[in-house]
Structure 1
Amino acid sequence: MGSQSAQFVQAPLVLVPSCQRVLGRHPFHVVGQKYVDAIRLAGAVPLMVPGASEAELSALLSVVDGVLLTGSPSNVHPRHFDEDVLDERLPLDPVRDAWTLPLIRAVVERGIPLLGICRGLQEVNVALGGSLHQAVQGQPGHMDHRADEALPVEQEYGLAHAVAIQPGGVLDPILRGLDVRQGDEVMVNSLHGQGVKRLAPGLHVEARAPDGVVEAFSKPGGGFNLCLQWHPEWLAASNPVSLRIFEAFGQACRAHQAIRLGLAAPA
């Protein structure tokens, strides 16, 4: 297709799985506004999806150019990595688990650009065969990575600790040359209780916290994909690290769209 066709291409679609909430007495499908805003910042159009059967999933993945897995108050159910629930007081979302885990495997297989955030990172690790610490703060030598919900939200989501960027991956070149990067470190926020216990086979660690907790990983050979334990979507437009990450995700989505529409040849 020529340049005249290319000018009519719309912004790429990014699939966003919703969480399940009971509001009042009725179940709702919800997605946080900050994730929607960040997808638009990346130059893409968010498509919230409440769930999908196998047939619906195939149809959706044939028309989207990226997938963003959001954070959530809920944890991935530990039965998916052969453990019992450690703390019954913590929220779960089995409806989300039931379809995002197969979604992740299909997305990686197809090479569709993928960005996982907080719970999204945990879902990807579990979907691909890894496991999680249900309470990172309870592990010897580990920090308490949880949010302090008593603080104003601006402080709760404030920068909490450095992460050391590992060489030879996806994140290192994305953040290269930033003024806020000191050597191999950038500062990030921290709002999670669960974390990577056993990394799934084939994943590459992209960053670690000072206590060794995996803060970012990717899966080489699966197209653009990057999973982050912190929340880059928070005030992303004013955070240089977040801007670089969402710009890279948006570029990957546009490249996928061009191939899907026949405007570019596969790499």
Structure 2
Amino acid sequence: MPTRPLVGVIACRREVEGHPSHMVTDKYLSALRDYGLAPVMLPVWEDIAPAEVAALVSRLDGLMLTGSHTNVAPQRYGAQRAPENTRADRDRDALALALVSVALERRLPLLGICRGFQEINVALGGSLYQAVQNQPGKLDHREPEGDKATRYAPVHDLEIRPGGALSRLFGASRSRVNSLHQQGIDRLAEGLTTEAVAPDGLVEAVSVTGAEGFTLAVQWHPEWQPREHPLHDAIFRGFAQACDTYRQRLVEGALSDE
């Protein structure tokens, strides 16, 4: 039986039963597994060394930066903390920003979701709105109240830019997506290309400009029941294919060296 491509999934640092813990929400792991990938959780420590990061990435066929209830520390992009920004995870910040650099250097397939989308922008020099709902002309993108079906239901249109990475995966110029975030991209990092926007102009998807491999990040949550949403299904199919291709190239390279 063929080995599934190994995808690193960044954890969040939280306290559980009085103990510091490393956690990944099951929906991300289940989505990857459902598309033929083997997820492995990457623990986070603020003092992780560059050599450790490089060693982790060298064993992977893909990398996912997930969403989280925490936010990137505003000091990471030269801002003061806003009153609405109350949840931090410095350990995750340290690993996530380091992972982006190494993953791009190794051309590793990279998928960012929500916080992960924001991490990629900050890692490459961009900045964030800490409370999008307070920005003139912007919608309130925070999650609606209700059960999971309500919170993850599509709530706004998405305009997909033609000719980009997301357009090549999905084909259509529009879709509808869920919205469960307070923060968002303010200054787009140099080196990122806008792939899709919300009706208020907020950037909702980006790719790394000129990247040879899969480097896509989205602000919404495609990991929630992706088989039921054509756009989400296309994203995970594309990511899975990229991870499989990356793994095959590594295997062929290793065999050719023997």
What whole-Å deviation, never above 9, does each CA across 1:78-105 have from its counterpart, x for those lacking one? 0000011102662111110011101101
SS at match of 1:262: helix
Task: State the TM-score, normalizing by the size of structure 2.
Answer: 0.93
2:117 maps to a residue whose letter is: L
Counterpart for residue 121 of structure 2: 125
Counterpart for residue 140 of structure 1: 136
2:141 matches 1:152? no
The equivalent position to 2:95 in structure 1, one of 87, 99, 105, is 99
Counterpart for residue 5 of structure 1: none
Counterpart for residue 221 of structure 1: 210
Contact 1:41 1:246 in 2 (8 A): no
In 2, Cα distance between equivalents of 1:263 and 1:161: 44
1:247 CA drift (Å): 0.4
In 1, Cα distance between equivalents of 2:197 and 2:139: 12
Alignment of 1:109-258 (within 5 A): 109-148=105-144, 150-176=145-171, 181=172, 184-222=173-211, 223-258=213-248
In 2, Cα distance between equivalents of 1:16 and 1:87: 30
Q: What percentage of aligned pairs have identical amino acids? A: 46
In 2, Cα distance between equivalents of 1:257 and 1:87: 44
Contact 2:10 2:42 in 1 (8 A): yes
SS at match of 1:67: strand
Stretches of structure 1 that go unaligned for 5 or more consecutive residues are 1-7
Contact 2:84 2:130 in 1 (8 A): no
SS at match of 2:93: helix
In 2, Cα distance between equivalents of 1:68 and 1:99: 12
Farther off after superposition, 22-31 or 207-216: 22-31
In 1, Cα distance between equivalents of 2:77 and 2:118: 11
1:215 CA drift (Å): 0.3
Contact 2:85 2:130 in 1 (8 A): no
Aligned length in residues: 251
In 1, Cα distance between equivalents of 2:79 and 2:58: 34
SS at match of 1:101: helix
Counterpart for residue 3 of structure 1: none
What whole-Å deviation, never above 9, does each CA across 1:76-135 have from its counterpart, x for those lacking one? 000000011102662111110011101101111111000000000000000000000001
1:38 maps to a residue whose letter is: A
1:41 CA drift (Å): 2.1
1:226 CA drift (Å): 0.3
Farther off after superposition, 116-125 or 167-176: 167-176
In 1, Cα distance between equivalents of 2:54 and 2:191: 24
In 2, Cα distance between equivalents of 1:216 and 1:121: 8
Contact 2:205 2:217 in 1 (8 A): yes
Contact 1:42 1:249 in 2 (8 A): no
State the superposition RMSD in angstroms: 1.6
SS at match of 1:46: strand
* Alpha-carbon spacing, 1:89–1:263, altered in 2? closer, same or farther (3 Å): closer
Counterpart for residue 85 of structure 1: 81
